Amino acid sequence: MTESINHHVAWADRIGLNKTWAKAIERIWATYGTEFFPQAVWGLHTILINIKNGPALRSDIDDYIAKVREDKDRKLEHYVDDPAYANENVILEEEMLPGLANFMIQLLEDNGFGMYKSDYGGEYDEM
Is 2 a domain residue? no
Is 125 a domain residue? no
Is 127 a domain residue? no
Cα–Cα distance, 23 to 44 (Å, whole number): 9
Q: How many domains, the chain?
A: 1
Is 35 a domain residue? yes
Is 23 a domain residue? yes
Is 15 a domain residue? yes
Q: What is the pLDDT of residue 7?
A: 55
Kindly tell me the number of DSSP H helices and DSSP E strands found in the chain.
5, 2
Full residue range of the structural domain in which residue 32 is found: 7-118
Give the count of beta carbons closer than 10 Å to the beta carbon of residue 87: 10
Q: What is the pLDDT of residue 85?
A: 67
Is 126 a domain residue? no
Is 19 a domain residue? yes
Q: What is the pLDDT of residue 122?
A: 42
Q: What is the pLDDT of residue 25?
A: 96
pLDDT tens for the chain, 127 residues long, are 555 555 555 544 456 788 889 999 999 999 999 999 999 999 999 999 998 878 899 999 999 999 998 888 888 777 777 776 666 667 777 889 999 999 999 999 988 876 655 444 444 333 3
Within 13 Å, how many C-alpha atoms sit on residue 58's CB side?
Answer: 12
**pTM of the predicted model, to two decimals?**
0.72
